[in-house]
Structure 1
Amino acid sequence: MLQLILQALTKKTQQWVECVTEVKQIFSSKMVLRALVLCLAYSGLGKPIVVPQAGHKKVRMGDSVTLSCALTKPMEVLQVTWQKDSEESHDNIATYSETNGFKIQKPYEDRLNFTTLELNKTSITFWDTRMDDSGCYKCLFNIFPSGPLSGNTCLSVFGLNASVHHNISEDHLIVICNANGLPEPTITWNNLFNSTPTQKTVKHKNGIVSITSKLKIYNIQSISAQDLICRVSNTNETFELPVKIKGEEGSSLLWLVVIVVLLAVIIVLILIMLFWRKILCKRT
């Protein structure tokens, strides 16, 4: 296939050569074949196109990742804009122009920056990726006088977040375990105490799956500090979240006893002082 493309390139005008030269300078050897195909499709029309460095990138939550795009031929670009696709619109996250410099929008301003400040090619880097960074991004070149050209690249952040909390009422205990992850997580309990958990699963557009498992236990007295554990896992990670109940109750009870004893001692001391003061007054 590469040989056929090269044969076709030799039959075309100087635009083919310019396209291939520009592509080889920007991208690694693994990306050259893809870029050559794009040159073959578009350069004959005399129009530049936007080539993303990668169509889809994967990164572990908390790590850094760079997204890049470039034009196949130099153009008079007024501004470069990065947008994140949402369900209803394209939200600007970063812009760069020679006139106004660069601007990072909230909530990305503390963890994202331009790492290539040029108008014909652009790169942004996430320094601390989060689960909600997953999604597709558009690099948009505003060209004078022809108008905007854009390319798309997608990002998948894999990882696992989990939390557990509980609420004690008069006759039962409610424990809720939450997990957000990519790939899809699972939630299990080490002990159900004759109860049946209810589970809710939500699959988000960006690929992240949220799971909530709710456990309602009536035999509270049978649960000790380490008897109830929520286990959250996916193909990459596993968490164990203990539900500590007795320890919390014991700690609260201990503080209550200490406070009551201190108040009693203070009251006794005050009464003794008043008693001795009364005796001294009678003697004088």
Structure 2
Amino acid sequence: MSSPAGLTALLETQQTVMAAVGGEAHLGCLLTQTKDVLQVTWQKLLPEGEKNLATYNKYFGQRVNAAFQGNMEFEAAGLQNSSIAIRKVTEQDEGCYRCLFNTYPDGALTGTTCLKLYELHEPVLHVGESNSAKEALVSCSATGRPAPTVTLSVLPHNGHFANHSSVGVTNTNGTVTVTTTAVLSHLHDNSTQVGCAVRVLSAPQIEVLVMIPEVKQSSAAGSDEKPRSGNIGFNLTWIIVVLVVVSCVVIVVGIKITALLKQKHQNRLSQRELDMPQTTIGHTHKTKEEQDNEQIQLTPEKNLTSVNPKTSPSIARRLCFDQCQQYSDSE
């Protein structure tokens, strides 16, 4: 059902509404003139015909089709101004919608608005080293549906991009990943910022900024060596300190071990002296003749035949003389 062109001009609505996948879509229609409206109906236009989504009238209030409850609701329920909101939109929600005002006596006044979905993820911006110290290699990737537009920028304007290239890859879920690379030249300091802005259709753009690190500059290369040498000297100092401490510990331990061994050796000598027999105490040196006399006195009186052959000649003569003398006295 369509309304005459003159009556259609009485309705204001957006021709196209953009919404992100998973987000919300807001559709609205407004009567520019006051009319006697009996009911407002929202429909979705399908190839096989119109499908009623929700209705509002002054007798029964607002009603939402059971298949869309929880996913769709009235934002403004009125007979002169009506709007609906679609939550968590999906690909099935994409298409054209109609707002229909049943008036008396003019009949139906209609307006049509189309919902278009987009998908856009935050871009990934990377700044890398180039062959020259005054250049930087910039790369930015963004994924969306339809294919996003990727734009590089530099702030402040103390450099410019060269050798632009852009490549698009279609993913299995229907999204497209676009990667743009360029060489940023004429860098003078570390205050340069690189920006990457991405956009899908007429949806709001997303932009990220990255500061170019000072380490990329040629002047920073020489300054980067000083901390390294300082770190090496610091490490060597600690190594020397550790070696000195270990050496002192080894020396102290060696001294203690030597003292213990010496004490143990002295203890062994003292114990050995205690264990030795005291037979040599008071011993004096005697001559050979004194020793023979002592042996004669200890030798019992015996016949000459009992003299031990091993007896020394002096002892044997003495024994013989004594025995002979005793024999003569007895006669």
TM-score (normalizing by structure 2)? 0.36
TM-score (normalizing by structure 1)? 0.42
